[in-house]
Chains A and B, each alone.
Chain A
Amino acid sequence: MSVIFLLIAASTVVAGVFLAAFIHAVRHGQYDDDRSPAVRMLHDPAPPSNENTVDR
């Protein structure tokens, strides 16, 4: 049964990684604006002829 300690340790580490990812996301403003990203993904991309000015 002591193998369970190994599993516990592994699962805690995995959960810890997710927690760290969550904290990272919060710190980088992922939760600051909950409206515009939802709207933005519905917008059609601009036609390519106008787009190339962006990366020049």
Chain B
Amino acid sequence: MSVRELTTLTCYHCGDACAEDHRVHDDKDFCCHGCEVVYDLLNESGLCDYYALEAKPGVKQRSSVDEQRTELFDLLEVRDRIVEFSEAGITRVRFHVPQMHCSSCIWLLENLHRIEPAILRSRVSFTQKEVAITFREERFPLAQLVKLMRRIGYGPQLTAAKEQVHKGVPHMVYIRLGVAGFIFGNTMMFSFPEYLGSNTEAGLRTGFQWLTVLFSLPVVFFLSTEFFRSAWAGIRSRTVNIDQPIALGIVALWTRSLWEVITGIGPGYFDSLAGLLFFLLIGRWYQAYTYRALRFDRALEDFLPLVVIRRTAEGEVAAKVSDLVPGDRIIIRDQELVPVDAVLRDGVGHIDNSFITGEPLTTRKEVGGTIKAGGRQRGAVIELEVLRSFADSRLKKLWAEQASLQDRPTMPRLIDQVARRFTIAVLLIALGAALYWWGKDSAQVWPVVTAVLIVACPCALALSMPFAYGHTIRLMGKKGLFLRDAEVVERMAHVDTVVFDKTGTLTAREAHEVVWMGASLSTEEKSMVRSLARNSTHPLSAVLYSELKEPLLSVLDVDDHAGEGVFGLVNGVAVRLGAASFSGGVEQPRANGAAHVHLAIGGVWRGYFMVRKRARTGIAQAVARLRTRLRVALLTGDAQVDAELTDAFHGTQVRTGCSPLDKTQAIVQEQQAGHRVLMVGDGLNDAGALAQSDVGITVTETTAALTPASDAILDAQAVLLLPTFLLQARRARRIVLASLAISLCYNLVGVSFAVSGHLTPLFAAVLMPLSSVSVVAFVTVAVTLAARSKH
């Protein structure tokens, strides 16, 4: 092993630091065997452009590909879900590949035919993260294809629940927008004689007027339907919403214009009507565009494997998880999830419960031990006996509990509050104007009332919200926070209490602090420790191995004493690593949930390593920043909290030893005390609390990871930015308020003209687009500027 400066090198394939298992191959650095293999495969097929398009585009291989099973894809119901057609040996499948993230990914996935000639064509849809592959199935079975994709790091993801991915923006939204634009443009053109003045032929004018009437039909009966529907739904549920004044405005515009044309008074306001719909539909489109790629609500079945290997008298067969009954024997391999509660019958379990609790260190299980559903095996193959069927598993119950907690306090939406007052005000003004003109000139009542309803139409009002919040969501998404919808931004702006889960949220999943307690070790001695640790499967050994950076030495006569420690001859010297009793040391008092690994070299006890989870760097400052404005609290399932976090949360509510239900209860208490709570958590044990809180944010290490349902997903690297996100949300709300004020000004000007009976078609046609465009421009610029300034 070369002794080069290891820490600064990054993998040519995936861009990770080459620390643990640095390899040099073909003059390039690789971080692990997996990445090297992918490089070789691409190199052989002449696909090295992959690395030229974007630097380090690869996806790191987490486990050996050949170990993973593909039997799943032979199941009929799985095939049905992914196969689009299959005829004469040619099959087209559509895979969901969440790993794709850059243009190199697109390039590689579309050049699969150069690796395997049986693949005819592959086409990526990046927005949906899907790839459609056409291949000759008789020469290259589906299972082989799946294996190939896993080998290059783009293993397709399958979920048990019915596929309910948003297929981008619905087509109808685009079609409506296109039709609206078409009619808007043409109606404006037909209205030109009116804009220019009266010296046009009378016949021409009436002809044009009737043309605009014709074009207005689809506006009312096709483009406006969803506004009418929403307004009607509001009336039926006796609530006021923003679509009611809009629907009223549309009806008023149309009937008034129709009446004007029929009676020959004037040209009507058909151009304003078409413009109104065009701008409203732009708002609808932007709303749909912002949320298109997000998929949040997932069932528990999405997280668990569909199929496990069942051992029967005839041998090993694939079986559906839902078909398992108590007493069945199942085989679980490395990195696989245990789907049901079961008892270990063969092998040694190293169970990682991070999906349930967020705790990354594995727990060891001996034969006869119970393993709960949701644990992930990290180590050799194990055989389990099913204890309870899937429907009865503890995991399923925990999930059901979470789903039943639906009574979180509702927060009235800002737009609805504004809409209520707005609608009432508009109706009062219309009534007042009607009464006034009734006494003065009763012929003016109808024109004035319709004019009021027309200019009071809250088009700009309806646009400010989707644009302000949609834009905020987009900007947050760039930094790593993905919100479910615009309402979440508003709820975030109201938050006054932030509650954290500890494990996996504040502490990083794989970061540990290793402190050596004892007389200092030489480089060679550290090398010995690292080399020996490499030969042990214990999680603490894995931590030592990855945290120490010294070069490896050869180890002989390794003897792994399960549960005690590991012994080995390194460079001819006997080294013992493990519990105090195993290494001849003295048991030391442990602080803050730390683990101790004692070391003896040549039969002499040298001291011990203290290993504990480390909080994310910078988390203390982030919490301090939050505390300047908000209340914070910490809930954890662990018995103790590390010193670093204790300092950060000094003087706040810190609860240890919380069960999932305790966490939920704690949130409920905060809410009953009148607080708006934001909860940040990660594991399934936080799911209840996340659902109960006003805003629930799930932290995830990889974007493709499994997370419980929540309002938002936060990239683990962006946890430190949480104060910034909250600030951004508050600013977005203030910007919406400001834009509401601006659009109300427009409405006031318009109404004052309308009430006095001076609303001309040209004036309306200018006011409508002007107000909409200026409000959207203001909101977009303001949100962008607000996101740039830090304070």
Q: When the two chains form their complex, are residues B175 and A26 in contact, meaning their CB atoms are under 8 A apart?
A: yes
Asked if B107 and A32 make an inter-chain contact with CB atoms under 8 angstroms apart, the answer reads no
Given contact pairs A4-B204, A46-B114, A33 touches B128 in the complex (Cβ within 8 A) = yes
A14 to B122, CA, bound (A): 37
User: CB-CB < 8 A to B53: which residues of A?
Assistant: 43
Known contacts being A5-B207, A42-B103, A54-B120, is A27 close to B127, with CB within 8 Å? no
Task: Return A20 CB to nearest CB of chain B, in Å.
Answer: 10
Q: Min CB distance, B598 to chain A, in Å? A: 54
From residue A41, how far is it (CB to closest CB) to chain B in Å?
Answer: 11
B127 touches A26 (CB 8 A): no
Q: Within the complex, which residue of B110, B178, B190 is in contact with A22, where a contact is CB–CB below 8 Å? A: B178
Considering only CB atoms, which chain B residue lies closest to A42 in the complex? B103
Decide if A32 touches B125 in the complex (CB within 8 Å).
yes
Cross-chain contact B113 with A1 (CB below 8 angstroms): no
Residues of A within 8 A of B437 (CB): none
Q: How far, in whole Å, are A54 and B133 apart by their CA atoms in the complex? A: 13
Closest to B172 in A: A26
Report A-chain residues with C-beta under 8 Å of the C-beta of B168.
31-33
* A34 CA / B125 CA spacing, docked (Å): 9
Q: Does B111 contact A (CB under 8 A)?
A: yes
Please report the C-alpha to C-alpha distance between residue A42 and residue B121 in the assembled complex, in whole angstroms.
Answer: 18
B117 within 8 A of A: yes
- Residues A15 and B178 in contact, CB atoms below 8 Å apart: no
- Residues of A contacting B111 with CB < 8 Å? 46
In the assembled complex, the CB of A30 is this many whole angstroms from the nearest CB of chain B, namely: 9
Check A43 against B107 for contact (C-beta < 8 Å).
yes
B contact patch SS: helix
A36, closest chain B residue (CB) = B126
Over the window 1-36 of chain A, the binary record of Cβ atoms lying under 8 Å from chain B Cβ atoms (1 yes, 0 no) is: 110110010001001101100110011000111111
Tell me the smallest distance from the CB of B207 to a CB of chain A, in Å: 7
| Least CB separation from A49: chain B residue | B46
B173-202 CB mask vs A (1 if < 8 Å, else 0) is: 011001100100110001000000000010
Flag if A35 contacts B126 (CB, 8 Å).
yes
Q: Are A35 and B127 closer than 8 Å at their CB atoms?
A: yes
CA distance A16 to B517 in the complex (A): 81
- A32 proximity list for chain B (CB < 8 A): 125, 127-128, 167-169
**B171 within 8 Å of A by Cβ?**
yes
Which among B103, B110, B171, B186 is the interface contact of A26 at CB below 8 angstroms?
Answer: B171
- List the A side residues contacting B174 at CB < 8 Å: 26, 31
CA separation between A34 and B186, bound complex, in Å?
28
Min CB gap B442→A, angstroms: 39
Nearest-Cβ distance from residue A16 to partner chain B, whole angstroms = 8
Chain A residues near B175 (CB, 8 Å)?
A: 22-23, 26-27
Q: Give the nearest-CB partner of B118 in chain A.
A: A53
Interface pair A23/B178, CB less than 8 Å apart? yes
Given contacts A33-B128, A35-B126, contact A1 B114 (CB under 8 A): no
- Contact status A12-B127, CB under 8 Å: no
Do residues A31 and B169 form an inter-chain contact, with CB atoms below 8 A? yes
A53 touches B127 (CB 8 A): no
- Determine the chain B residues whose CB is within 8 A of the CB of A40 once the complex forms: 106, 110, 124
CA distance A43 to B50 in the complex (A): 10
A51 to B: closest C-beta gap in Å: 8
| B125 near A53: Cβ-Cβ < 8 Å | no
**Distance of A15 Cα from B49 Cα, bound (Å):** 44
With a CB–CB cut-off of 8 A, which chain A residues contact B167?
A: 32
Contact B178 A36 (CB under 8 A): no
Closest partner residue, chain B, to A1 (CB atom): B201
- Residues on A with C-beta less than 8 A from B75 are none
B residues within 8 A CB of A50?
A: 46, 113-114
Give CA–CA (A13, B179) in the complex, Å: 14
Contact in complex: B125, A33 (CB < 8 Å): yes
Contact B127–A19 (Cβ < 8 Å): no
B604 interfacial contact with A, CB 8 Å: no
A44: chain B residues within 8 A (beta carbon): 49
Contact yes or no, B125 A36, CB < 8 A = yes
Q: Do A36 and B106 touch (CB < 8 A)?
A: yes
Q: Which residue of B lies closest to A50 (CB)?
A: B114
Please state if B179 and A33 are interface contacts (CB–CB under 8 Å).
no
State whether A54 touches B126 (Cβ < 8 A): no
B211 at the interface (CB under 8 A from A): yes
C-alpha spacing A26/B178, complex, angstroms:
10
A residues lining the B interface (CB < 8 Å) = 1-2, 4-5, 8, 12, 15-16, 18-19, 22-23, 26-27, 31-36, 39-40, 42-44, 46-47, 50, 53-54
Knowing that A5-B207, A50-B114 touch, tell me 13 more A-B residue pairs with CB under 8 angstroms: A4-B204, A15-B182, A26-B174, A31-B174, A32-B168, A32-B169, A35-B126, A36-B125, A39-B107, A40-B106, A43-B106, A43-B110, A44-B49
Instruction: List the 5 closest A-B pairs by CB distance, nearest first.
Output: A35-B126, A36-B126, A39-B103, A26-B174, A53-B117
Q: B interface vs A, CB < 8 Å?
A: 46, 49, 53, 103, 106-107, 110-111, 113-114, 117, 120-121, 124-128, 167-169, 171, 174-175, 178-179, 182, 185-186, 190, 201, 203-204, 207, 211
